[in-house]
């Protein structure tokens, strides 16, 4: 079990990834991104998750630079957006991401969403073409690890047969949203699962069951969600731009949820979140 903010999971290729990431979806670019990323790094987070489509890579990069922490002590993830699928567009998207972040390599680059059957007859070929670019950048040393996001097992299948299979899958995961088939598939194939919206974009936090468990441990519902994800062996990516919450979300290493509470949370019915099905989205 992870004991500190800087403890790491080890990816399939041996590369280390700090066990709690700082999410930036819905963080506005500019001063908010700069200040909150800097605050997260000052708090001790060493893993920052962004994406081209978040529109905040410039601010995130400035926050990283402003922290003064050496580049090789920080794990930075970004993602190629849906409009950039395919071999050459992905190479272009990656170059823009690096330039916006003002970095010369990424620790992790992900395909943000799979091309799905609803939108593309040749969805699998398109995903493989995107993956071919990712693999090339990885082989060139411009990315330390490569993976996907929002992929279900059938989207992953053909990529698993390539020269460098995905090492990470970042999916929506929080109480009531467990995506069990996907998580099981990833475990069987040595793919680390990261949890986006670990707080259900905040919707978990008023839930009475989570709050009564939180009271028992003298913690907040947010800390219960994050801890529950860690104890399930997944990597949570909580987002906050509020300094006190950035700190609170990192204080999850000095208590342990007992087996009964783990089960109570694991058995909760869906009660909110994005709930997007990657096979049905039309963006």
Catalytic residues: 54
Contact 13, 41 (CB under 8 A): no
Contact 156, 169 (CB under 8 A): yes
Considering only the stretches 12-20, 131-139, 191-199, 251-259, report the one whose residues sit in contact with ligand A2P under the rule CB under 6 A: 191-199
Nearer to ligand A2P, 137 or 230 (CB): 230
Indicate whether 201 belongs to the interface with ligand A2P (CB under 6 A): yes
Contact 73, 62 (CB under 8 A): no
Does residue 92 sit in helix, strand or coil?
helix
Structure tokens at 38: 């800097």
Indicate whether 63 belongs to the interface with ligand A2P (CB under 6 A): no
Question: Considering the complex, what minimum distance in angstroms separates the CB of residue 4 from ligand A2P?
Answer: 19
Give the one residue of 249, 252, 253, 278 binding ligand A2P; rule: CB under 6 A: 249
Residue 113, Ramachandran bin (φ over 0: left; ψ between -120 and 50: alpha; else beta): beta
Under rule CB under 6 A, which residues in 23-62 are in contact with ligand A2P? 23
Radius of gyration for the alpha carbons in the chain, expressed in angstroms and rounded? 18
Q: How far apart are CA 37 and CA 44, in angstroms?
A: 11
Number of residues this chain uses to bind ligand A2P (CB under 6 A): 18
Nearest 10 degrees: Cα torsion 236, 179, 233, 63: -20
Nearer to ligand A2P, 23 or 165 (CB): 23
Considering only the stretches 106-114, 118-126, 196-204, 227-235, report the one whose residues sit in contact with ligand A2P under the rule CB under 6 A: 196-204
Indicate whether 222 belongs to the interface with ligand A2P (CB under 6 A): yes
Structure tokens at 60: 């995130």
Q: Which residues of the chain form contacts with ligand A2P (CB under 6 A)?
A: 23, 197-202, 205, 220, 222, 238-242, 245, 248-249
């Amino acid at each position: 079990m992870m004991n500190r903010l800087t403890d790491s999971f080890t990816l399939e290729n041996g590369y280390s990834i700090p066990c709690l990431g700082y999410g930036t979806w819905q963080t506005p670019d500019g001063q908010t991104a700069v200040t909150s990323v800097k605050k997260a790094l000052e708090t001790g987070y060493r893993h920052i998750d962004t994406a081209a489509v978040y529109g905040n890579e410039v601010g995130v990069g400035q926050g990283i630079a402003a922290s003064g922490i050496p580049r090789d002590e920080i794990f930075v993830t970004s993602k190629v957006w849906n409009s950039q699928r395919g071999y050459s567009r992905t190479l272009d998207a990656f170059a823009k991401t690096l330039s916006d972040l003002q970095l010369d390599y990424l620790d992790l680059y992900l395909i943000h969403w799979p091309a799905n059957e609803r939108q593309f007859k040749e969805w699998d070929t398109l995903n493989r073409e995107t993956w071919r670019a990712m693999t090339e950048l990885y082989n060139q040393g411009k990315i330390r690890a490569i993976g996907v996001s929002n992929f279900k097992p059938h989207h992953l299948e053909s990529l698993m047969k390539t020269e460098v299979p995905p090492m990470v899958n970042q999916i929506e995961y929080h109480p009531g949203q467990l995506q069990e088939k996907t998580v099981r598939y990833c475990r069987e194939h040595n793919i680390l699962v990261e949890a986006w919206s670990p707080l259900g974009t905040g919707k978990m936090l008023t839930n009475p069951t989570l709050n009564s468990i939180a009271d028992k441990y003298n913690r907040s519902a947010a800390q219960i969600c994050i801890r529950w994800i860690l104890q399930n062996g997944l990597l949570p990516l909580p987002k906050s731009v509020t300094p006190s919450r950035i700190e609170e979300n990192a204080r999850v290493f000095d208590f342990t949820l007992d087996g009964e509470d783990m089960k109570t949370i694991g058995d909760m019915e869906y009660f909110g979140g994005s709930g997007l099905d990657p096979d049905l989205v039309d963006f």
